[in-house]
C-alpha cells in the first residue's frame, strides 16, 4: 500500500508538471525578458536584451529578470521613452477638489502603461538604473500607469522638471516622482531610491504641486528599502523622499463631493527614509508626505521598524514671504487619513522657516512629525508604539511631534518622545464619547527625552554611496542608530495592557448645560496641589457653554466657538504643569458614570487592549536580544 501511494504521488506530480509546467516555465524563461546588456537601446541587436526592450516587450504580469553576468552593474539611461507620460492626478473645480483624472507628467526615461515587474533578486549586488541625461536633459527614471513590483533594484539621478506645454490641457507638466512615478501600487523589496530631484513651477497652482523626490505613488508597499538623498524644489511641494496618495485610484471625478470612501492602506517595513529635503514656499514632509486616500478617503499609513532621519523641510530662498507660506513635517507630514508607527526611530529631522500665524494657526510645525490643521478635519488617528521620536527641531528648537487637528493620538506604550505639541488637536466632542483625545502617556512612555539619552548618535551607521540633501548635507545618509541607555531593555517580553478612557455626556446643546463647571471642579479636586485650590476661577460660571454639533461640520459652526475657545484656553492655563498632554486619559479616568448638575448624565467607558513588541527589528534581528526589548528601530 505504501508503494502504491508513493507511486501515485510521483505520477500525479509528473502529470501536473507535464500539463502545466511547460507553459509556466516558458513564461518565466522568456528570453526577451532576461536583460543581458547594460546598454540603453529600444531595438538592440539579435540575442541582446536591454531593460528598455524588455519593458516594451513584457505583457502585463510578466517578470523582467537579469542575467547573472550583470550583477552589480549600472544601466545608464540616455533615451526618453515618453515625452508626455500619462498618469492620473488630482483636479480641482473652482478651487474645490474634484477627484483624479489623467494628467501630463512630462518626460520619463522608461514608461509603461501596464502592470510591470522587475526582479533582480538573483543578483547578489542587485542592479542600478540611472538617468544619465546630464544637466541639459531632464527625465524621471521610470513612470508606470499600473502596478509596479520591483526587487533589488537601485534607482538614481532622475530629474523631473515642470516644463511648459503648448496647446495642452495644462500649462506645465507635473514634476513628480523623479525616481519612480506610479499610478497604481508600488511594491518594492530591497530597493534603493536615491539622489533624485523634482523641480517644479515658480508660481502657485492648486492642482500642480511638485511631489515625491524619490517616489510618487498612489499606493505603497515597501519592504527593506532605502529612500535617501532625494529632493523636491518648487513654489508648492511635498514628500522629499516619498509622496503617497494612498487610494486615489478608488476616486473618480464623478464621485459625489459629499461621499467618503475607504482608501488603500500603505505600509513601510524595515525601511530607511533619510537625508531627503523639500524646499518651497509651501513645503511639507521632508521624508514622507502621506495623504492616505485624499480628501474623500480614509486610509492608514503604517510604518514598522523604520528609521526616519535627517530629513529637512525649508523655505525657498528665492521666493519672497508674501501672502501665506507653510513649512511643516521635517520627517513625516500627514495631509490626510491616519498614521500608525511601531518600533520606529524618528530623529534629527528639521523644519526651517519664517514663523507666522495665518487664520489663527501657526504656519510651522513638527520637526519630526506633523499633521494638517483645518477647520474640518481630513486627518484621523495616530497610533504610536515602542518608538523613539527625539532630536527633531523647528528653527533649532525641540519640536518632535505636532499633532495638528487629528481626532485621537493613541500611545500603545513604551515610547520615548522629546516634545509633543497637542495645542491644535480637536477638542472634546461628547456625542462621540471623545472627551479624551490625548491618549498619552501610557505604560513605559516618557516625554522630554533628549537625543543622546535615546540614541547613540556617534555610532550611527551610514550609506557611504548616498549623500544627504537633508539636515546633514553632503554627508553619507544615515541608515540606523544604536539605542542608548533609556531605550535599552525597556519593553516587556510578553503582552502588556494599555487602558483607554472614552468619556461623553448627554444634555449638551442646551442653555442649562453646566458640564464645564464640573470639569474645573474636578481639576481642583485632583490636581489642586499642582494647579492651586482656586484654579479656573477666571473662567467664571460656564453654564450654557456647550457643544451643538452637527456631527460632521461642527468645527466650522459658529455656535461651537465658545466651546472650542474654552478647551483651548484651558490648555493654555494649565500649561506644562500636568505634562505635555494637558488633560489625557488619566484625568478623564478620575470621573465615574452618573448624573451631574442640570440634567447632565456622564458616561465613562474604559477599555483594556494588549500589545507586544515587534518580532524583529529593522535589520531582521529577533526581538528581544536581552531580558527585555529595546525601544526604537534597532534591537541591540
Distance CA 312, CA 230 (A): 11
Pairwise CA distance, residues 507 & 481, whole Å: 52
pLDDT computed for residue 255 by the predictor: 45
Pairing of strands 476-480, 438-439: unpaired
Lowest pLDDT segment from 313-322, 395-404, 538-547: 313-322
Instruction: Give me the chain's average pLDDT, please.
Output: 91
Give pLDDT tens digits for 458-517: 999 999 999 999 999 999 999 999 999 999 999 999 999 999 999 999 999 999 999 999
Separation of alpha carbons 272 and 234, rounded Å: 24
In this predicted structure, the answer to whether residue 353 has a pLDDT above a threshold of 90 is yes
Mean pLDDT of 23-29: 43
Range of weakest confidence among 291-305, 358-372, 607-621: 291-305
| Residue of 534 and 167 predicted with greater confidence | 534
pLDDT bin (cut points 50, 70, 90) of residue 375 is low
By C-alpha distance, which of 191, 202, 353, 367 is closest to 272?
A: 191
Q: What is the 3-state secondary structure (H, E, C) of 174-242?
A: CCECCCEEEEEEEEEECCEEECCEEECCCCCCCCCCEECCCEEEEEEEEECCEEECCEEECCEEECCCE
Residue 256: predicted pLDDT: 44
pLDDT tens readout for residues 566-608: 999 999 999 999 999 999 999 999 999 999 988 899 999 999 9
Higher pLDDT pick, 58 / 204 = 58
pLDDT (mean) for 269-295: 94
pLDDT in tens, 214-254: 999 999 999 999 999 999 999 999 999 999 999 876 654 44
Q: Does pLDDT of 309 surpass 90?
A: yes
Please state at what angle helix 515-531 crosses helix 561-574, rounded to 10 degrees: 10
- Cβ 214 vs Cβ 232: under 8 Å: no
SS3 71: coil
Question: The pTM is what?
Answer: 0.93
Is the pLDDT at 163 greater than 70? The verdict is yes
Tens digit of pLDDT for each residue in 406-419? 999 999 999 999 99
How far is it, in rounded angstroms, from Cα 251 to Cα 218?
A: 11
From 611, 609, 509, select the one nearest 559 (Cα to Cα). 509
- Please compute the mean of the pLDDT values over residues 81-88 and round it to a whole number: 96
- β pairing state of 446-447 and 416-417: parallel
Residue range 39-43: average pLDDT?
97
pLDDT of residue 29: 67
Q: Examine the pLDDT at 152 and tell me if it is beyond 90.
A: yes
| Of 46-55, 98-107, 519-528, the least confident | 98-107
> In this model, does residue 3 exceed pLDDT 50?
no
The dihedral over CA atoms of 482, 485, 486, 492, expressed in degrees to the nearest 10, equals 80
103 Cβ contact partners less than 8 Å away, ≥ 6 residues apart? 86, 87, 88, 89, 91, 170, 174
Q: Is 430 helix (H, G, I), strand (E, B) or coil?
A: helix
**The predicted structure's pLDDT at residue 168:** 75
What average pLDDT score do residues 257-271 get? 73
Amino acid at each position: 500500500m505504501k508503494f502504491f501511494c508513493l507511486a501515485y504521488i510521483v505520477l500525479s506530480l509528473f502529470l501536473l508538471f507535464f500539463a502545466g509546467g511547460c507553459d509556466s516555465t516558458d513564461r518565466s524563461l522568456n528570453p526577451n525578458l532576461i536583460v543581458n546588456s547594460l546598454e540603453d537601446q529600444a531595438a538592440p541587436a539579435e540575442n541582446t536584451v536591454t531593460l528598455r526592450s524588455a519593458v516594451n516587450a513584457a505583457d502585463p504580469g510578466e517578470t523582467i529578470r537579469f542575467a547573472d553576468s550583470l550583477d552589480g552593474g549600472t544601466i545608464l539611461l540616455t533615451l526618453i521613452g515618453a515625452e508626455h507620460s500619462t498618469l492620473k492626478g488630482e483636479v480641482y473645480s473652482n478651487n474645490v477638489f474634484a477627484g483624479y483624472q489623467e494628467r501630463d507628467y512630462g518626460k520619463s526615461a522608461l514608461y509603461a502603461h501596464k502592470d510591470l515587474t522587475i526582479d533582480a533578486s538573483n543578483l547578489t549586488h542587485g542592479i542600478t538604473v540611472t538617468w544619465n541625461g546630464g544637466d541639459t536633459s531632464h527625465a524621471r527614471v521610470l513612470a508606470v500607469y499600473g502596478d509596479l513590483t520591483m526587487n533589488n533594484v537601485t534607482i538614481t539621478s532622475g530629474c523631473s522638471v515642470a516644463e511648459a506645454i503648448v496647446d495642452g490641457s495644462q500649462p506645465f507638466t507635473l514634476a513628480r516622482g523623479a525616481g519612480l512615478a506610479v499610478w497604481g501600487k508600488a511594491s518594492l523589496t530591497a530597493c534603493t531610491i536615491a539622489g533624485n530631484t523634482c523641480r517644479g513651477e515658480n508660481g502657485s497652482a492648486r492642482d500642480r504641486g511638485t511631489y515625491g523626490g524619490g517616489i510618487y505613488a498612489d499606493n505603497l508597499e515597501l519592504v527593506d528599502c532605502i529612500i535617501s538623498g532625494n529632493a523636491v524644489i518648487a513654489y508648492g511641494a511635498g514628500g522629499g523622499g516619498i509622496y503617497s496618495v494612498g487610494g486615489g485610484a478608488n476616486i473618480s471625478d464623478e464621485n459625489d463631493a459629499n461621499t467618503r470612501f475607504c482608501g488603500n492602506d500603505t505600509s513601510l517595513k524595515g525601511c530607511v527614509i533619510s537625508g531627503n529635503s523639500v524646499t518651497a514656499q509651501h513645503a511639507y514632509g521632508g521624508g514622507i508626505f502621506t495623504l492616505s486616500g485624499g480628501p474623500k478617503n480614509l486610509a492608514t499609513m503604517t510604518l514598522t521598524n523604520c528609521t526616519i532621519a535627517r530629513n529637512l523641510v525649508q523655505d525657498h530662498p528665492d521666493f519672497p514671504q508674501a501672502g501665506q507660506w507653510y513649512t511643516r513635517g521635517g520627517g513625516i507630514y500627514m495631509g490626510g487619513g491616519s498614521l500608525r508607527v511601531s518600533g520606529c526611530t524618528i530623529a534629527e529631522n528639521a523644519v526651517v522657516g519664517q514663523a507666522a500665524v495665518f487664520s489663527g494657526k501657526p504656519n510651522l510645525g513638527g520637526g519630526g512629525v506633523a499633521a494638517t490643521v483645518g477647520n474640518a478635519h481630513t486627518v484621523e488617528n495616530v497610533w504610536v508604539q515602542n518608538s523613539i521620536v527625539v532630536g527633531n527641531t523647528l528653527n533649532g528648537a525641540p519640536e518632535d511631534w505636532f499633532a495638528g487637528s487629528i481626532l485621537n493620538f493613541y500611545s500603545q506604550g513604551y515610547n520615548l518622545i522629546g516634545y509633543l505639541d497637542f495645542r491644535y488637536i480637536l477638542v472634546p466632542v461628547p456625542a462621540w464619547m471623545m472627551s479624551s483625545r490625548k491618549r498619552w502617556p501610557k505604560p513605559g512612555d516618557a516625554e522630554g527625552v533628549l537625543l543622546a539619552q535615546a540614541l547613540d548618535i556617534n555610532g550611527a551607521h551610514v550609506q557611504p554611496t548616498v549623500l544627504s540633501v537633508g539636515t546633514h548635507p553632503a554627508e553619507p545618509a544615515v541608515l540606523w542608530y544604536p539605542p542608548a541607555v533609556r531605550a535599552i531593555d525597556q519593553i516587556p517580553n510578553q503582552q502588556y495592557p494599555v487602558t483607554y478612557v472614552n468619556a461623553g455626556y448627554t444634555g449638551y446643546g442646551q442653555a442649562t448645560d453646566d458640564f464645564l463647571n464640573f470639569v474645573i471642579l474636578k481639576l481642583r479636586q485632583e490636581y489642586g496641589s499642582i494647579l492651586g485650590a482656586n484654579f479656573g476661577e477666571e473662567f467664571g460660571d460656564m453654564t450654557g457653554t456647550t457643544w451643538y454639533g452637527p456631527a460632521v461640520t461642527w468645527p466650522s459652526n459658529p455656535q461651537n466657538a465658545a466651546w472650542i475657545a474654552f478647551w483651548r484656553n484651558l490648555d493654555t492655563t494649565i500649561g506644562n504643569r500636568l505634562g505635555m498632554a494637558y488633560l489625557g486619559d488619566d484625568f478623564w479616568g478620575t470621573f465615574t458614570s452618573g448624573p451631574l448638575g442640570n440634567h447632565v448624565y456622564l458616561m465613562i467607558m474604559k477599555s483594556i487592549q494588549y500589545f507586544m513588541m515587534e518580532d524583529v527589528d529593522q535589520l531582521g534581528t529577533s526581538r528581544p536580544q536581552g531580558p527585555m526589548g529595546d525601544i526604537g528601530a534597532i534591537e541591540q
